[in-house]
């Protein structure tokens, strides 16, 4: 089987985030480069969402194992030190998946103060913007907790990050 970039990306679609199982590593924008070297060796570069993300090594191993299994190639996964993750890297389609999973997606931001964009995060259950931030920290590093005054749900939010 010839290894192509398309096939590598296809395989990467199967690698899900362990903390948000509806999103794969491409949805999240965690992959920064894919290269095919001599003898069909594959190099994949990735970046963690938050620098203290405890799942990085797990995700890295999952990427290697999945791509090796799908393509039968020897795969190296490196942490890309040049790039850094920000929430604008998340695909539009991923935001829809996130919302259907019950987590409000991150707003697009242009470096403005977080306090402004966190004020009226739309509720993933009823779409109301009559909400408030209860805490900028939640069950994982990438989530905040909000309350919806309209439907009374406490909901989680994938935090925007520069």
Partner 1 sequence: MTRNDAISQLLTAMADDSLIQGHRNSEWTGLGPIMEEDIAFSSMAQDKIGHAWALYRTLHENLGGTDPDRFAFLRGEKEYKCCHFVEMPNGEYDFSLMRHFLFDHAEAIRWEQLQQSSFEPLVPLARKLKGEIKYHTLHANAWITQLCRAGEESYARMQSALNTCFPLALGIFEPNPEAEQLLTAEKVYAGEAALRAQWMDRIYNILAVAGLNLPDENEVTPVYGGRKGYHTEYLQPLLDEMGYVFRLDPEAVW
Q: How far is the CB of 60 from partner 1 (least distance, A)?
A: 15
The answer to whether 63 and 44 have CB atoms below 8 angstroms apart is: yes
Q: How far is the CB of 140 from partner 1 (least distance, A)?
A: 8
Q: How far is the CB of 135 from partner 1 (least distance, A)?
A: 4
Secondary structure of residue 44 in the 3-state scheme: strand
Q: Which is nearer to partner 1, 86 or 128 (CB)?
A: 86
Distance CA 54, CA 126 (A): 32
Q: Which is nearer to partner 1, 32 or 128 (CB)?
A: 32
Q: Which is nearer to partner 1, 101 or 114 (CB)?
A: 114
The answer to whether 142 and 50 have CB atoms below 8 angstroms apart is: yes
Q: How far is the CB of 76 from partner 1 (least distance, A)?
A: 17
Q: Which is nearer to partner 1, 105 or 160 (CB)?
A: 160
Q: Which is nearer to partner 1, 49 or 62 (CB)?
A: 49
Binding interface with partner 1 (CB under 8 A): 50-54, 81-86, 113-115, 118, 134-139, 141, 144-145, 159, 161-162
The answer to whether 3 and 36 have CB atoms below 8 angstroms apart is: yes
H helix or E strand, kind and range, residue 36: strand 31-36
Q: Strands 143-148, 131-135: parallel, antiparallel or unpaired by DSSP?
A: antiparallel
Q: How far is the CB of 3 from partner 1 (least distance, A)?
A: 30
Q: Strands 103-104, 131-135: parallel, antiparallel or unpaired by DSSP?
A: unpaired
The answer to whether 97 and 78 have CB atoms below 8 angstroms apart is: no
């Amino acid at each position: 089987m010839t290894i192509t970039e398309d096939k590598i990306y296809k395989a990467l679609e199967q690698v899900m985030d362990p903390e948000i199982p509806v999103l794969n590593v491409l949805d999240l924008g965690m992959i920064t480069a894919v290269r095919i070297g001599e003898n069909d060796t594959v190099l994949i570069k990735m970046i963690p969402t938050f620098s203290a993300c405890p799942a990085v090594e797990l995700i890295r191993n999952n990427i290697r194992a999945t791509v090796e299994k799908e393509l039968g190639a020897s795969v190296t996964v490196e942490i890309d030190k040049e790039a850094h993750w920000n929430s604008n890297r998340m695909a539009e389609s991923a935001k829809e998946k996130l919302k259907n999973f019950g987590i409000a997606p991150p707003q697009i931001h242009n470096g403005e103060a977080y306090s402004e964009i966190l004020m009226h995060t739309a509720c993933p259950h009823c779409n109301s913007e009559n909400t408030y931030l209860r805490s900028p920290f939640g069950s994982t590093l990438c989530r905040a907790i909000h309350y919806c005054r309209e439907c009374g749900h406490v909901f989680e939010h994938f935090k925007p990050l520069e």
